[in-house]
Structure 1
């Protein structure tokens, strides 16, 4: 069920226990071979498949294409909200939905740069409303809602998401192959960090002159379909837990075997 398709009386008639899912993504460079709308396109497809599976058990807000992408600003085409402005936008979205009485609010993220601010937004919102026990405020990233690393098959070179990598390139090849540039000459760019697990301030240019990280030349459309199927199924399973939450306890499963 899509929020943008509903009239206000239809929204008003909804149970306030129905989860509100707000997809958040980005417009930013994705190497020399993928479009700048990659994150928004991929999250949009995962959300579309999940929305079809869940039907009227969740309400999907329109995808927010503006994200926190300052680390890509050295590359033309990137559009980014100031980090603290973006945190305020997400905080405002939470407050909007709470104002209308909804109690289960989920940011479904599709961009690595949004992970910290979306997590901070729901954390801060919980502190603002700390006297309430009926709220479920969550931030989840679509490629990390299930067990890690995911079991995708032996032909995958990567076991985790990078940037404009085998995974993202495969999914765009499945979704919009006409938008993918040549990949055969793209060499492996490592995403490893010798200072891990420390948080290391960085720009994309620090790590990759070409703007991609990973192994895009190993991508394929069939791999992309497998990724879409896997990620959408994991998102559905995660949101089914949100739907089934008992409305009061920390994990919703106290007393269960």
Structure 2
């Protein structure tokens, strides 16, 4: 079901037994070879695929395309709002969910910069809002929820940015927007066992702008990308996130 296509009496009727499904993404630079719409384009596709698996349970909202992307602002084309603004946007959305009667909601995150403020929004809403007692509102970041790492058919271990993974998915979805002749990354990253481009292996937190970390705006060997890998990645994420949704529906 699509949120914006339902009439208010329909929302009132289905809310108690349905899940509000809100994709959150970004418009930001993705190197020399990918458009700024990458996170939103991938998010739109994944969210629609997952919604089709649960047509009587998920109520999919339009993708929130503005995100927390200040770390990309040195590269033109990036759109971003302050973290505090983003937190307020999400808490206001949750207030709308609970007022409408939705006891379950998933923020389906498709941009790394959204993870921290979105988590804070969930915390503040639940701690500060008496109406939040008893509701289940969660954040599911697609590459974390789907354990998108160390896949046999990928040459690099995990998602980074404008990388083999994102480029492969964009080759599947929007080949005409990808310029593989310019697919390259030149990173300036600290060499340490404590920090890695593989988020699963990073055990300390260090803040950097992307301009400090990469000359081109991309990471993770995008030149290895193929459309076949993209199809496999999209199927993998859809299947694994759907497993979570299926369990979440029973909470």
TM-score, normalised by the number of residues in structure 2: 0.91
Distance 2:138 2:27 in 1: 23
1:5-16 alignment runs, 5 A limit: 5-16=5-16
**Superposed displacement of residue 158, structure 1:** 1.6
Structure 1 residue 146, shift from structure 2 partner: 3.1
Aligned in 2, Cα 1:192/1:48: closer, same or farther, shift over 3 Å?
farther
Q: Go from structure 1 to structure 2 and tell me whether the alpha carbon gap of 1:27 and 1:148 turns closer, same or farther (over 3 Å shift).
A: closer
Tell me, in whole angstroms, the C-alpha distance in 1 between the residues paired with 2:119 and 2:145.
Answer: 14
Q: Distance in 2 between matches of 1:177 and 1:193?
A: 34
After superposition, residues 126-141 of structure 1 pair within 5 angstroms as 126-129=126-129, 133-141=133-141
The corresponding residue for 1:54 is: 54
User: In the aligned structure 2, how far is the partner of 1:34 from the partner of 1:141?
Assistant: 21
Q: 1:221 aligns with which of 224, 227, 230?
A: 227
- Name structure 2 gaps, 5 residues minimum: 196-202
Residue 115 of structure 1 deviates from its aligned partner by 0.5
Matched position secondary structure for 1:56? coil
> Which residue matches 1:249?
none
1:189 and 1:167 map into 2 onto residues whose CA distance is 17
The correspondence for 1:203, drawn from 206, 209, 216, is 209
Runs (4+) of structure 1 moved beyond 4 Å? 130-133, 190-193
| DSSP-derived class of the 2:161 partner | coil
- 1:231 is matched with 237
Q: Which residue of the partner structure matches residue 159 of structure 1?
A: 157
Q: 1:115 corresponds to which residue?
A: 115
Native 8 Å contact 2:23 2:62 kept in 1: yes
Structure 1 unaligned segments of length 5 or more: list them: 246-257
Distance 1:67 1:60, change over 3 A: same
